[in-house]
Structure 1
């Protein structure tokens, strides 16, 4: 059921007593700014009686009682403020289970956890930052009034933009330190966060997003609300998020008995789900792809975002995995994993491919100073997850077992997508997935960057590391499967035990983030050693999008 909190329901609360001890599962976050406005979203466990955003120069000076009165009073505007009611709807799949860690709660098994999304569409904004607060009144009349944050309309086309490039947070222990240093380094609010997928671990587990008690939940870290030395930073309450779908945004088959982790790990072709992702991030969207693939212009950047990822399967040579089904499951297709299959087709001829070709040729893309394409899978990369090729697994079914092969010549990204990007003059491709930092530049001048070393790293597989991927013969064991040479960081590369410079960062102690500033067209990557809390943030790589 959708409910719009308008003046009627809110006015009925004018005489209610305000209790300010109520807290929201997460602070508000921003999505999809428009020329004169932006979407403000927040969440509660009850639908509540009144959900509004207050916007205006006078909002920070309001006491909580004054903000409550403005939210529930008869007027839509007042001195220095305007009121924007939210549309309310429940998230349809959020649950917890015995593995969840929610403060003050335990779950014996998979249990529905009610979460309601409130979305206020703010309009009529001036071309500058404006303060806002959210007022949420629950079913019992108790109110939560947030701190004052800021919002702004979309950066006008052609204007410079400052963007954070990141991915693969997944509640990893270095994320709060990473975002704390982003906040300190970036200074003023950014114009956008480009998130190349894998925001949480199990997308239908509500506490992964909001309030995990053992590990840093996604929104908590991005709001500076993590307990401990590194709180994260208040970024998403001020800065719009531009997300892409990674494999950790996809749930598998629904089950009444399996744990959430087991359900997450049990998708089959045609039997998987991204509902929670789409409900949390209903915009940006396109007519063809909804929130799964879309494009937006952010100042002088044209961003195109794809749904290009596959289910992760173990490379181990026994059991259900990348390369085989479990022994004895030949006649039990309901137990098959179908190898590392691709969720949404992006190969030549698919709906997503056709949309991408049209979008890259659009006037908005052609007019932009910089063209950026973002998706999760890193076909160019030194990480473990850059191989096997990004293609549909080819099964071989015998009486004694089922095996899968991934033909190198059929990599959908290298064979089909990359030529489109080259021909369109794309400047930067942003990926994630392998939990490393590395970058490449192909013969057409397109930069490929993976900047996902914010949590557990699976290592880099390069001649300088001496490591080889754990893959069967016939697959690329070292280096980039796409054949590009990795670029050594230009400012302060790390070195190996022998003193050789390393073209990557793959560490469980050193975290990395990247900022794109189009005022000078530079992409700058920074690292921070979490083992030494007093260490300085180090600029270790920078390059111009217009050049090598």
Structure 2
């Protein structure tokens, strides 16, 4: 058995005190003074964690379940803030409330509810007491511990919510179509800027992250359609779906979960867009160690390097993951009923493909920064290496050799960045940037460029063979905001089902071409295919019907729309595992979602 993570073991001990039996009570509606409803994390044998957030430190934070009060452990979030770009309260991104970077006080509460029976749901709610002594309660929801072998499961596969306009509608249609879920597997890009508190909790536009997954959103979606010469405009208000109050959430890190260099003098969005490789920060630190850290304190060293490269502090503070990897919660693996889940840290910074002289982008450094490497972006560098020989690769090897993995009937891996796919972000491939220094005849630096050789794709060369040989059934990716699926030569299903809130296009010959390839003859164009999968995989046609078509009416193997939205459900049971995808038209509110693709995991 994989050991209980140290952080979870400590929390279990801290919340083990249980009050005598009390009368069960509940509120009709969650008190708005709770920043979120409770949600579920880290299910284990006989237990599950309950997490919620408030804007007050308060006292007596408890979960009430089965007539018991289970005390929560409280911590203050360390990096959440707002600034002029926030949409919060009466401020609409105009700086009327927050002129500049302003820390926001948010507290996180977490309790371990143990003593649970496998396969049995238990009602629960949470209660907090604010500084004035007022008691604040949530509504009643349900929880259960880690599912047992053979227990039927219904799991949502999703990604890339990112405060996009169709996301609340998508989550609402999930609950209306399939009902109660047992888990959510989330392949990254939960919101846009991870240190901006309102994007998680209460963005004034009505589509923040937690409200969408808890049925507490409020987003008016206006759509216009023409049919038989008649123009119809509809406006529907969507509240999202009540999902994670009942089903544990398993996210992985996408590029929108990673903050760049920390500098409160800069706007939050500017910090987000300003990461640099850890190796660059380490080299700068070592060159100036006596200045930055004269006592040689290792904690000061680590904090300086982190704040001058990139970090996932807010993501890791918000979520409690299985913590089975050497990097804590950044990547993990666990058995969940009949499903073995592998959460990979496979993402990189997104940068503009523009070749404009002023761009710090995918393919170049800005001309103005050539002589100041401290301002370089270093291309679309990978945040956590997974190439052969890396820590993550060696950890994955061990996971795939474990009995827990081998004995699981269904094997699923999550990773944000797609090495395969039909979207815009399928190029450049998942390779380390190769830096090219251009010089004139006198040796002066005239340009810094980055190539991403197709044959150096880390996922295709190193990770995909491991997963295929081990018998992984499904790799679920995100990042490009569309739906498609493929099957590798080794029989691994590769799927992106991220046409949730919007799309960035589907690129197939005869349909559309990617615009993200470098428009410069100095680059090798074969590294940047403008249509299809970069590695030549063919997309599978949907089994029931294709929601979209070419101009001539021929069916497309993808869904890429700002009016159609898709969601996907993984189901396990006595008859095996199936993956079912549904589509609905936001221009036709009230119409049900339709099944358009279904396949089995053999």
Q: State TM-score, norm by structure 2.
A: 0.83
- Return the alpha-carbon distance in structure 1 between the equivalents of residues 157 and 539 of structure 2: 19
- 2:174 is equivalent to residue 182 of structure 1: yes
Query: Given the alignment, which residue of 96, 105, 110 partners 2:101?
Result: 110
Indicate if the aligned counterparts of 1:9 and 1:49 stay in contact, CA closer than 8 A. no
Cα offset for 1:23?
Answer: 1.9
Choose the corresponding residue for 1:161, options 147, 153, 169: 153
State the Cα distance separating 1:333 from its structure 2 match: 1.0
Aligned equivalents of 2:542, 2:19: Cα separation in 1: 57
Q: Is the 8 A contact 1:9 1:50 kept in 2?
A: no
Q: Are positions 1:36 and 2:46 aligned together?
A: yes
**C-alpha separation in 1, matches of 2:150 and 2:167:** 32
1:159 Cα deviation (Å)?
A: 2.8
Aligned-residue CA RMSD (Å) = 1.8
Matching of residues 82-121 of structure 1 within 5 Å: 82-104=68-90, 106-121=97-112
Per-residue deviation, 1:497: 2.5
Q: CA deviation at 1:335?
A: 1.1
CA distance in 1, matches of 2:598, 2:581: 6
Matching of residue 374 in structure 1 with residue 384 in structure 2: no
> Are residue 240 (structure 1) and residue 248 (structure 2) matched?
yes
> Which 5+ residue runs of structure 2 have no aligned equivalent?
1-9, 21-29, 92-96, 220-236, 279-308, 439-444, 519-524
State how far apart, in whole Å, the 1-side matches of 2:584 and 2:48 are: 33
Which contiguous aligned blocks of 4+ residues in structure 1 show a shift greater than 3 angstroms? 2-10
Shift of 1:535: 2.2
Alignment of 1:545 with 2:601, yes or no, is: yes
**What residue in structure 1 maps to residue 442 of structure 2?**
none
Whether 2:455 is the aligned partner of 1:409: answer yes
- Which of residues 521, 527, 531 is equivalent to 1:478? 531
Deviates more, 1:237-246 or 1:531-540: 531-540
- Secondary structure in structure 1 of the residue aligned to 2:394: helix
How many residue pairs get matched? 511
Matches of 2:110 and 2:391 in 1, distance apart? 29
3-state SS of the aligned residue for 1:222?
Answer: helix
Aligned to 1:447: 493
Structure 1 residue 512 corresponds to structure 2 residue 566: yes
Q: Does the aligned pair in 1 maintain the 2:37–2:245 contact within 8 Å?
A: yes
Aligned position for 2:275 = 267
Q: Mark the runs of 5 or more structure 1 residues left unpaired by the alignment.
A: 11-19, 57-80
Equivalence for 2:543: 490
Aligned to 2:399: 359
Using the alignment, how far apart are the partners of 1:6 and 1:299 within structure 2?
A: 25
SS at match of 2:172: helix
Q: 1:518 to 1:464 in 2, by over 3 A?
A: farther
User: 1:173–1:215: 8 Å Cα contact kept in structure 2?
Assistant: no
The alignment partner of 1:179 has SS state of: helix
> 1:21-55 CA deviation, whole Å, 9 max, x = no partner?
65211111101111101000001112211100000
Structure 1 contact 514–525 (Cα < 8 Å) conserved = yes
The 8 Å contact of residues 328 and 401 in structure 1, kept in 2 or not, is answered as no
Equivalent residues in 2 for 1:414-453, closer than 5 Å: 414-453=460-499
CA contact (8 A) 1:172 1:215 kept: no
Superposition deviation, residue 513 in structure 1:
0.3
- C-alpha spacing 1:22/1:501, structure 2 compared with 1 (3 Å): closer
| TM-score of the superposed pair, with normalisation by structure 1 | 0.91
- 1:336 lines up with 2:390 in the alignment: no
Deviations 1:110-129 (A, max 9, x none): 10001111010110012300
Residue by residue over 1:95-136, the C-alpha shift from the partner in whole angstroms, topping out at 9 and shown as x without a partner, is 110111122562111100011110101100123000000001
Cα distance in structure 2, aligned partners of 1:213 and 1:313: 27
